[in-house]
Amino acid sequence: MTDRALLPALLLVLAGCAAPPAPTGDAPATAPAEVPRAVAVAPDSPTPSARPPAKAPAAKTARAVPKEVRTRNAMFKLSGFDELPGWQQDDIRAGWGAFRNSCGPLQKRAEWRELCAASAAVPPTEKAMRAFFEAHFTVLRILNTDATPEGDVTGYFEPLLEGQATRGGEYVYPVLGVPRGLYSLDWGQVPAAQRGGIVRVRPQGDRLVLTTGTGPGTYAMDLRRFVLDDRDRKLRLRLVDGAQARVEPYYTRAELEALGLPGGVDAPVLAWVNDPLALYAMQVQGSGRILMPDTSVLRVQYAEQNGHPFRPLRVVPKAKPVTRGAAGETPETFVIEGDDEAPVDGAVVTRGGRPAAAPAQASAAGDPLVDELLKGARKPAAKPSTPAATTPAPAARPQSAAVEPRRAPPAPARLNTDPSYVFFKVSADRRPNSEGPPGALGVPLTAGRSVAVDPRVTPLGYPMYLSAPPPSGSRVQVQRLVFAQDTGGAIRGALRADYFWGFGAEAGQMARSTRHRGQMWVMLPNAEAARLSSSRLVTRGAAAGDTVESNGQCLVDDGEFCSELPE
């Protein structure tokens, strides 16, 4: 055979040596280990040829994570840890406890189980903790639907009130538990064809369920009377018996006051406080502590709401606070600023209802949630210790409103311009003073590391990164790792976060001054990020791998805090 004849054969042999081996059935088992390094790379990072050879397979896997994802509520762009402002300077150790709190409920999900188990073995060093996040999470930058990068950042806190277990003296304003006549219905369970008409329901515990019957014990419900909000599909309702048994919206604040609280509703009274405006402030914040006569502290948290829009009022502390409890945080009493003024107009925000359109002159740059509360709150001269939190003694058990139906003195009439009313429950567990109240996720909020979000955009429990200016007069840098552990009726939209400052007057001062435009990122477990391009989510762009667009509302459908409507 001539040299010319041998040349093609030789070339075939050399080509076979250069080609990579075909993957075997066991090869995919090692692929996920490379995903963290690949997906954390920003889209404009160096090309695969510039990377170390060991990372080349991961670059191929990274293309499974789309560069851009769109839902009805937000846009998300693939980012990287090197794009987070101040990421290397943030003390990750300060947020590790909040992360481990999130792992409590999240580890029940497959994509979180191994991740949370691995976090338990991470050494308690800043370097190791930072490396853990960089290895296990994919960073997505959150954008508004119009691709703008900033949104509203506000703050909230846990206030301290003054109260006692029984009615008497100036303690005449009841802190109510959930009324027994308050029912709920998930309108998403109503077939789409029936959502614009009249349905029949029957009570099942504290819920209403659909029924085809028309006999006794069933009620007519006209869904055309209700705003069907996809942020919170839970309608709050009451039953009206009689010849035309029907379902009505639950009472507004004005209607509740007209009934003569605590009379008129079958609700437990958790405590009696001396200031209706302090009670209102606690309702807006969603939780609080009540200083009792024996210096013990009763902690209460959000339990339910009456289902009506929240229209905030501006309340400010009185010039002279009460002195009882001077050894710790001092409760403050409040007044409405400009009590003779007309109600403040503005966007109506709800905890479970759709916000009404804001007047044309209203600013869209901020949210009144915190600024309408504690405006001008005093910063204490010193930060004394806080009384120990306790559960009430047996003699201080919640009273039933039916036992003592006497009417409380009327609250300021302007409070009735806010139709929303919040009901509380006593915190069941005895927690350290340093821990915040439980958020919507069910874990204690961590001051400076927990935020309230819109769960349609940011899944509850997930790590986020927040970049915003520090509050006025503060040196606390708000460029840090935070965790989405709470929600709120006023917290709506893609770039919207409410930053938890903690407990007491100083936290209230910081919360009031937190009103900025900020930027936000969300971190998804790598396996979950790779599934964003799955056929269940994608409606356009999957083949290209560049843009994934969903007609759904949830980035992550967790079945609890955000779920897609049934067909």
In DSSP notation, 414-471 reads GGGGS---EEEEE--S---TTS--B-TTSSB--TTTEEE--TTTS-TT-EEEEEEPPP
In DSSP notation, 477-492 reads -EEEEEEEEE--TT--
159 closest CA partner among 301, 285, 294: 285
- pLDDT-based confidence at residue 227 (cuts at 50, 70, 90): confident
Per the model's pLDDT, the better-predicted residue between 146 and 400 turns out to be: 146
Per the model's pLDDT, the better-predicted residue between 46 and 430 turns out to be: 430
Query: What is the number of domains present in the chain?
Result: 1
In DSSP notation, 200-215 reads EEEEETTEEEE-S--S
- pLDDT-based confidence at residue 562 (cuts at 50, 70, 90): confident
498 pLDDT exceeds 90?
yes
> Does any domain span residue 561?
no
Output the pLDDT for position 8: 43
> Does any domain span residue 295?
no
501 pLDDT exceeds 70?
yes
Average pLDDT of the segment spanning 252-268? 93
- pLDDT-based confidence at residue 144 (cuts at 50, 70, 90): very high
Cβ contacts of residue 23 below 8 Å, gap of 6+?
A: none
Output the pLDDT for position 408: 56
Per the model's pLDDT, the better-predicted residue between 177 and 213 turns out to be: 177
Residue type, 190: V
287 pLDDT exceeds 90?
yes
Output the pLDDT for position 512: 82
What percentage of the chain exceeds 90 in pLDDT?
47
Output the pLDDT for position 198: 93
- pLDDT-based confidence at residue 226 (cuts at 50, 70, 90): confident
Output the pLDDT for position 30: 33
Phi and psi for 105 in degrees, rounded to 5?
A: -80, -30
Per the model's pLDDT, the better-predicted residue between 55 and 206 turns out to be: 206
Tens digit of each residue's pLDDT (9 = 90 or more) over 68-113: 999 988 999 999 999 999 999 999 999 999 999 999 999 999 889 9
In the block, residue with structure tokens 């695969």: 48
514 pLDDT exceeds 50?
yes
> Does any domain span residue 401?
no
Output the pLDDT for position 388: 41
> Does any domain span residue 278?
no
Phi and psi for 108 in degrees, rounded to 5?
A: -75, -15
> Does any domain span residue 134?
no
Burial tier of 97 (Cβ tally within 10 Å: 0-12, 13-18, 19+)? middle
25 pLDDT exceeds 60?
no
Lowest-confidence pick of 52-56, 430-434, 469-473: 52-56
Let me know: does 102 contact 135? Beta carbons within 8 Å.
Answer: no
- pLDDT-based confidence at residue 506 (cuts at 50, 70, 90): confident
Cβ contacts of residue 247 below 8 Å, gap of 6+?
A: 183, 185, 201, 208, 219, 220, 221, 222, 237, 238, 239, 240
What percentage of the chain exceeds 70 in pLDDT?
66
Per the model's pLDDT, the better-predicted residue between 113 and 565 turns out to be: 113
Output the pLDDT for position 187: 86
Cβ contacts of residue 272 below 8 Å, gap of 6+?
A: 163, 164, 165, 166, 167, 168, 171, 172, 173, 174, 175
Average pLDDT of the segment spanning 313-338? 58
Let me know: does 273 contact 163? Beta carbons within 8 Å.
Answer: yes
- pLDDT-based confidence at residue 410 (cuts at 50, 70, 90): low
> Does any domain span residue 195?
yes
Per the model's pLDDT, the better-predicted residue between 40 and 229 turns out to be: 229
Distance CA 303, CA 55 (A): 50
Cβ contacts of residue 90 below 8 Å, gap of 6+?
A: 479, 480, 481
339 pLDDT exceeds 90?
no
Mean pLDDT score of the chain = 75
Distance CA 369, CA 502 (A): 16
Strands (E), 337-398: 349-350, 389-390
Burial tier of 175 (Cβ tally within 10 Å: 0-12, 13-18, 19+)? buried
Per the model's pLDDT, the better-predicted residue between 88 and 349 turns out to be: 88
In the block, residue with structure tokens 């009590």: 339
> Does any domain span residue 101?
no
237 pLDDT exceeds 70?
yes
Counting DSSP H helices and E strands in the chain, the numbers are: 11, 28
Domain that holds residue 207: 183-249
Output the pLDDT for position 500: 95
Output the pLDDT for position 351: 31
Distances (CA, A) of 12 to 6, 15, 22, 187, 484: 10, 5, 17, 67, 57
23 pLDDT exceeds 60?
no
Lowest-confidence pick of 340-344, 362-366, 405-409, 437-441: 362-366
Lowest-confidence pick of 59-63, 231-235, 459-463: 59-63
Output the pLDDT for position 566: 59
Average pLDDT of the segment spanning 279-293? 93
Name the range with the highest mean pLDDT among 108-122, 224-238, 304-318, 322-336.
108-122
> Does any domain span residue 233?
yes
Output the pLDDT for position 106: 96
